[in-house]
Structure 1
Amino acid sequence: MKNAWWVGSSVGVLVAVGAVIGGGVWVNQTGFGLDHPAPMTVEMPAALFSPAINSDTTQDAASSPDFEALTAQLTEQAADPRLGTFVGVARDVESGEIVWEQNQGTAVRPASATKILTAAVALYELGREDTITTQVLEGEQPGTVVIKAAGDVTLSEEMLDDLAAQLEGQNIDTVLIDTSIWPDEGFASTWDPIDVDAGYIADVEPSMIEAGRIGGSEGDLPRSHTPALDVAQALADRIGAETTGTTEITTDSTVLASVESDTLDQRLARMMEDSDNVMAEGIAKEVAASKGLPTDSASTATMTLDILEGKGFDLSDVSIVDNSGLSFDNLITPRLLDDILTRAATETELRSLLTSLPIAHGTGTLEDRYEGMTGAGWVRAKTGTLTDTSALAGVVTSESGRVFTFAFVSNDSAILPAREALDEMASMLRDF
């Protein structure tokens, strides 16, 4: 029964998101010097039900609710022409019962739903508290410092300010950067170079400012073509150094300054919220480097599948060539996506994968969706969008208190109509 506390508390987490939309109004109307009482506190609710899937016990069929009407609804929705070529699956987490499926074992183009695989592997291999330390080392020549890139692709302006402050008072005229921790290519052959200026990807290097964005810290802003050199230049500008470049440190050097990244939990939440391709690829490379494996995108994709296979997931017909879902060559089954989400609802190691997912009509890539739908505030899901491709995979608490995981993928369809149909389908699970 070791998983009972998480399954129960996962319901509490999901129920709580229903207050996000209304709660935003309260936040905006308070906190400006007005006198108000201390915030209310409540005790954590007791677990609402037992472990979702327990191979050591047999579920009592009589205790399982009747999903017949829900199955019929989902089947009818799956035939909606807006969904084009459509595959999917929905599961009741408590019983483990598949309440609906349509070709769940068929591998299709998943777009950014691929990031569910990447997040799972990172949590398994690195752990939720993993952080990355970026150091500035003393160079071999007087007046030279070297940034030892360690895999943090989201260095902030504040972190660079911190490094500069730690170097204050030193006579530094040259800032170099060592990117040797990821020696392999950072731009996959299956990506389109035009997507760099479009804001979707960059050459993924082990030190980047806000995932290479130019002019901001979030959204699909144009990305840099020289992200690691940008880090060296940004530090040089702050400390008055005139020369920048690259190098590789081969001997131990004195650490002059350092900064630490957010935890993996925090980075995954940001990756999922923005559906950030650079972060997804960077996190996969971090895993590969920690295991001494090649860090090019094709190799990290192979690593991801190997790790998932080792965890017992069914990878039949699944093939990926990157970890972000930007490539059109990725093929993933709804079954695999849903299996990972169900594990996240029943395993401690993966539990933060669920809380990293955007909230319908509340946050991230779902913020502007679910207008007027019952799933608003209750559905948490990873989106996926490419030409003629729309995906939605996540979790939702129904009105009756059941927790459902689901994975819906539409190929050969117009994006906006398909999105609306997917959101309607997830709302049907909420209505149960």
Structure 2
Amino acid sequence: MSEHAPTHPSKAGLGGVFARARRHSGALVIAAAATGVAILAGGALVAGAAVGASGDSSAALSDGSPSQVAGPTVSPTPTSTPTPTATPAARPLPASVLAAQPVRTCSIAEAASDGRLGTFQGSVRNATTGEILYDHGGGTYSRTASVMKVLTSAAALAVLGPDYRVTTKVVAGSTPGQVVLVGGGDITLSSGSSNIYPGSASMTDLASQVASSLGGAAVTSIVLDSSAFGGDAWQASWNRKELFDGWSSEVTALQVDGDRADPSSSQSARSEDPIGRAGAAFASALGAGGAAISQGAAPAGAAVLGQVQSAPVSTMVQDALLRSDNTEAEMLARLTAIAQGSGNTFGALAASTPAALATYGLDTTGLVIVDGSGLSDDNGVSPNFLSALFAKIAAREGNLGVIADGLPVAGESGTLAGRFTGSNSDAAGRVIAKTGWIDTGYTLSGIINAADGTILTFAFFALDNVSDSSKQALDTITAAAYRCGNNLSNL
């Protein structure tokens, strides 16, 4: 016997298997098959161990005993690395998506090319949205003619307010029998019982109060105090013929009837001594024709013998716009500057009017203001500024409804009463606007209640080589804008 105990068949080597096979030839086929299965199973285990346990080269047979046969090492099938796919660059996107814009097709280009418009500038704005629909030199600052009165009125309403009234008074003088007539700037004061200005105060009423206060004492001298306004009485850039033609008076704090020779006429020759004319009217109303008249200042703290007040600013604004009264506009501009603390001269208007307009939220950069009436060629206002101001007026912001209610109406009232006729008559009654005219330009600016229901604001300037026929050309382009409404193109 061998000193070693015989091994279990499942643990024997291949030689043992073939020896048994010779002794048991009938089992050869079965033994061979079994051996093949065992080998295959062992190989599978080895391969599995190689894959499942890194570095472990031993394997266990199915009964848990160590295998005596080293199987071939099986390496894992390498995994191919996929070829990276290039990512397409992202398409650039806009920072924000623009809102859809209407395509406008209605043009006023033909009307704008009318030679009667001279050097033409224009701006049309949708008053509700604020969008500028038409801009032809709209950002250029130019003379406005009497459209300047709209700026003056808006400034006065902002600073003085619609209820402000101007006081003219008489105080006791420094000597017995002397009285001092103190002008507060009311150029609408009537020399008698009435004049062209609605609601004007009366010199007759003032004289009656003074006579009552004096108790019958005689007036021997009259001092005229017009110191409320300072500086030059005539703006240096104005044509002096405006005075003699009857379009404007000198700007003084004391005068009567706007210094008209004919108090009932809008256009009437003015004098070169409005203060003296007012003194004569007072002496006449007082019955003191023999009294000495001079100019001077009222004593401080002097007793008031009588006083009268003008119509409210709201009334004077509407009158100045409807008739385009230059003297009334200059009075409003000067009173605004004084109340604002800018001064009491023409030079004060450069600061006071823009400052007042800025309170409406308007950008006043670039405005050049040298007067309140628009008589000067030196004023500078852009059509775009005017269309923006009129958008405020159309919305009746602050006290600006006063202006909206007082502007001339096309074909119906004021300086537009005889205009917008013939082919432009469809816009009559639908345009409210301020007219302007000086030797070097015709202007028109205001509000259009357009045919499609849109509220438009506009400013059209016809400058340089112009004539009276320019007014019809301005009416024509305004009527064209009326027909276009919000479909107005900027082409």
Same fold (TM over 0.5): yes
Rounded to whole Å, the distance in 2 between the matches of 1:352 and 1:238 is 34
| d(CA) in 2 for partners of 1:306, 1:348 | 15
**Which residue of structure 1 aligns with residue 293 of structure 2?**
244
Matches of 2:113 and 2:230, distance apart in 1: 47
CA apart distance, 1:278: 1.3
Q: Deviations over 1:330-387 (max 9, x none)?
A: 1210011111111112213222122221121222211221223122222111111112
CA–CA separation in structure 2 for the residues paired with 1:248 and 1:426: 51
Amino acid at match of 1:360: A
Task: Determine the structure 2 residue equivalent to 1:92.
Answer: 126
| Alignment partner, residue 218 of structure 2 | 171
Query: How do 1:84-163 residues align onto structure 2 when only pairs under 5 Å count?
Result: 84-156=118-190, 157-158=192-193, 159-163=202-206
- Indicate conservation of the 8 Å contact 1:188/1:298, yes or no: no
Indicate if the aligned counterparts of 2:173 and 2:299 stay in contact, CA closer than 8 A.
Answer: no
| Distance in 1 separating the partners of 2:460 and 2:309 | 37
**One of 313, 321, 333 as aligned partner of 1:284:** 333
Per-residue deviation, residues 65-84 of structure 1 (Å, max 9, x unmatched): x68244x1x23321222212
1:390 aligns with 2:426: no
> Is the partner of 1:207 in helix, strand or coil?
coil
Alpha-carbon separation, structure 2, partners of 1:194 and 1:323? 18
Residue in 2 aligned with 1:350? 400
Is the CA contact 1:106–1:317 (under 8 Å) kept in the aligned structure 2?
no
Q: Which 5+ residue runs of structure 1 have no aligned equivalent?
A: 1-59
Find the aligned partners of 2:229 and 2:351 in 1 and give their Cα distance. 16
User: What TM-score comes out, normalization by structure 2 length?
Assistant: 0.71
Match of 1:411 among 463, 470, 483: 463
Task: State the partner residue of 1:232.
Answer: 279
Going from structure 1 to structure 2, the CA distance change for 1:84 and 1:171 (only over 3 Å counts) comes to same
Q: Shift in Å at residue 205 of structure 1?
A: 0.5
Going from structure 1 to structure 2, the CA distance change for 1:358 and 1:306 (only over 3 Å counts) comes to same
1:161 maps to amino acid: T
Q: Distance in 2 between matches of 1:270 and 1:208?
A: 18
**Partner in structure 1 of residue 230 of structure 2:** 183
Pairing partner for 1:209 from 241, 249, 256: 256
Q: Cα offset for 1:316?
A: 4.2
After superposing on structure 2, the runs of 4+ consecutive aligned residues of structure 1 that deviate more than 4 Å are none
- In the TM superposition, residue 139 of structure 1 has moved relative to its aligned partner by 1.5
CA distance in structure 2 between the aligned counterparts of 1:221 and 1:67, rounded to whole angstroms: 52
Does structure 2 conserve the Cα–Cα contact (< 8 Å) formed by 1:67 and 1:99? no
1:237 counterpart SS class? helix
Aligned residues: 369
TM-score (norm 1): 0.80
Equivalent residue in structure 1 for 2:342, among 261, 285, 293: 293
Distance 1:364 1:67, change over 3 A: farther
> How many Å apart are 1:311 and its aligned residue?
4.4
Shift of residue 412 of structure 1?
2.1
Q: CA RMSD in A?
A: 2.1
Matching of residue 379 in structure 1 with residue 431 in structure 2: yes
Q: Give the Cα separation in 2 of the matches to 1:316 and 1:82.
A: 30
In structure 2, how many angstroms separate the alpha carbons of the residues matched to 1:249 and 1:174?
13
- Quick check: 1:210–1:218 contact (8 Å CA) kept in 2? no
- 1:334 maps to which residue? 383
Larger Rg: 2
Distance between the aligned counterparts of 1:130 and 1:230, measured in 2?
26
- Check whether the contact 2:171–2:298 (CA below 8 A) recurs between aligned residues: no
Unaligned runs of at least 5 residues, structure 2: 1-97, 194-201, 486-491
Residue identity opposite 1:150 in structure 2: G
Higher relative contact order (CA 8 A, sep 6+): 1
Q: Which amino acid in the other structure matches residue 414 of structure 2?
A: G
Matched, 1:254 2:303: yes
Task: Give the AA of the match of 2:411.
Answer: H
Separation in structure 2 between the aligned mates of residue 370 and residue 424 of structure 1, nearest angstrom: 8
Partners in 2 of 1:165 and 1:190 — Cα distance?
41
Deviation at 1:315, TM superposition (A): 3.3
Give the secondary structure class of the aligned counterpart of 2:318: helix
